[in-house]
Amino acid sequence: MTRAPPAPRDLHLLETGRLAELGMQSAELVHELRQPVFASVGLAQLARAELDRPAVDLERLRGQLDGLVQQLDLMHALLGRYGGAGRRPSTVGGPVLLAPPVTAAVQMLDPRARSAGLSLVLELVDGQSQVLGEVVAIQQVAANLLQNALDAARSRVRVRVEGAVLRVLDDGPDPGPDVLGRLFEPFFTTKPPGKGTGLGLAVTRHLVEAHGGSLRLERLGDSTVATVQFQAVSPRKGP
Ligand SMILES: Nc1ncnc2c1ncn2[C@@H]1O[C@H](COP(=O)(O)OP(=O)(O)OP(=O)(O)O)[C@@H](O)[C@H]1O
Ligand SMILES: [Mg+2]
C-alpha cells in the first residue's frame, strides 16, 4: 500500500516547523558560543601581553595557551553538536565523571567573577561520581547556571557537586515568584538589551531533560539555588 504524498498545506506546515527548529538551534548555538569566544579573546590578549614583557614567564604563557586551546576545543565540539546533527542535540551519552566538566565551567567563568569582585567557590564533595551524560553538555549546563548566578550575586557564588547533583547558589536578591514561575520560557529575561537574551535556562533545561535529569530554581533562605539532578551511574563493583 502506498501512502498519499503530503498535501501542499501539510508540506508548508512541515517546512515552517523545520525552519522554527533551525531558528531555535542557531539561536542556541550563538548563545552557547558567546562565553567561550569571550574567554578566548581574553586569554589571547593575556598571552600577547605576556610576550611584550621584558622577561616572559613561560609557565604563565603555557597556562594561557592551554586555556585558549580548551576554549577552542569547546567551540569546535559545540559546532559539531549543533551543526552536525541537523537538529537540537538530544543524545544522552555514556557514563562520565560529573566533576571535570563542572570544574571546566568554573575555570572558564573565574575571570568574570574576579573582574566583578565576586568570590566563586567550587566544592567537590564527591569528585568520583559518574552520571549519564555528555561532557560538553554538562559544561554548558554548569556554565549557564553559573553565568546567571554571577549576574545576580551580591558577593558570592558557590558551585557544589555531590553525588549526581550539581548545585549553584548565589546570594543575590530574591527573584520573586513571578520571575521564578517564568524563567524557563525561551526569551524570558529581566536583563537589559545586550545583557541577556533569555535563552540560558531554556537551553539548560532542554539539555538536562535530554539527559534524563531534572532542573529546578528556587529561593532557599538567603540564597537563590539552581539544582540539577543527573542520572547517577552506580560505581562498578570490584571482581
Ligand atoms: N540566579 C538567579 N537569580 C535571580 N534571577 C535569576 C537567576 N537565574 C535566572 N534568573 C532570572 O531568569 C531569567 C532568565 O534566565 P536565562 O538564563 O534564561 O536568560 P538571561 O540570563 O536573562 O539571558 P541569557 O542567559 O540568554 O544571557 C533572568 O533574566 C533572570 O531574571
Ligand atoms: Mg542566563
Nearest CA, atom 1, ligand 1: 149
Q: Give the Cβ contact number of residue 159 at 10 Å.
A: 24
pLDDT at residue 238 in the model: 46
Q: Which amino acid is at 39?
A: A
Instruction: Give domain 95-233's CATH number out of 3.30.420.40, 2.20.25.650, 3.40.50.300, 3.30.565.10.
Output: 3.30.565.10
Compute the residue count for the chain.
Answer: 239
* Of 82, 202, 70, residue with least CA distance to 148: 202
CA of 127 to the centre of ligand 2 (A): 26
pLDDT at residue 1 in the model: 54
**pLDDT tens digit sequence for 13-55:** 777 888 888 888 888 899 999 999 999 999 999 999 999 999 9
To the nearest 10 degrees (0 to 180), the angle between helices 99-115 and 135-152 is 30
Which residues are 216's β-sheet partners?
A: 227
Nearest CA, atom 9, ligand 1: 148
- Indicate which atom in ligand 1 lies nearest the CA of residue 199: 26
- Indicate which atom in ligand 1 lies nearest the CA of residue 34: 27
- Indicate which atom in ligand 1 lies nearest the CA of residue 188: 14
CA of 157 to the centre of ligand 1 (A): 15
Q: State how far the Cα of 17 lies from the Cα of 11, in Å rounded to an integer.
A: 10
Name all contacts of 209-217 with Cβ < 8 Å and 24+ positions apart.
Answer: 210/89, 210/90, 210/91, 210/92, 210/137, 211/92, 211/93, 211/131, 211/132, 211/133, 211/134, 211/137, 211/138, 212/92, 212/132, 213/131, 213/133, 215/141, 217/180, 217/183
CA of 200 to the centre of ligand 1 (A): 7
**pLDDT tens digit sequence for 102-119:** 999 999 999 999 999 999
Q: Are 166 and 142 in contact (CB under 8 A)?
A: yes
Is the CATH number of domain 12-85 1.10.287? yes
Compute mean pLDDT per 10 residues along the chain, 239 residues long, and list them: 68 79 87 93 96 94 95 93 61 85 95 96 91 93 98 98 97 97 95 91 93 96 97 68
CA of 60 to the centre of ligand 1 (A): 34
CA of 148 to the centre of ligand 1 (A): 5
CA of 144 to the centre of ligand 1 (A): 9
Ligand nearest to the CA of 197: 1
pLDDT at residue 16 in the model: 80
pLDDT at residue 193 in the model: 87
**What DSSP assignment string belongs to 27-88?**
HHHHHHHHHHHHHHHHHHHHHHHHHTSSS--HHHHHHHHHHHHHHHHHHHHHHHHHHHHSS-
Of 148, 195, 222, 225, best ligand 1 pocket probe by most atoms within 8 Å of the beta carbon? 148
Cell of 132: 549519564
Question: Domain locations in the chain?
Answer: 12-85, 95-233
Cell of 48: 600577547
Q: State how far the Cα of 106 lies from the Cα of 172, in Å rounded to an integer.
A: 18
Ligand 1, CB cutoff 6 Å, lining residues: 31, 148-149, 152, 170, 172, 175, 179, 183, 188-191, 196-202, 224
pLDDT at residue 140 in the model: 95
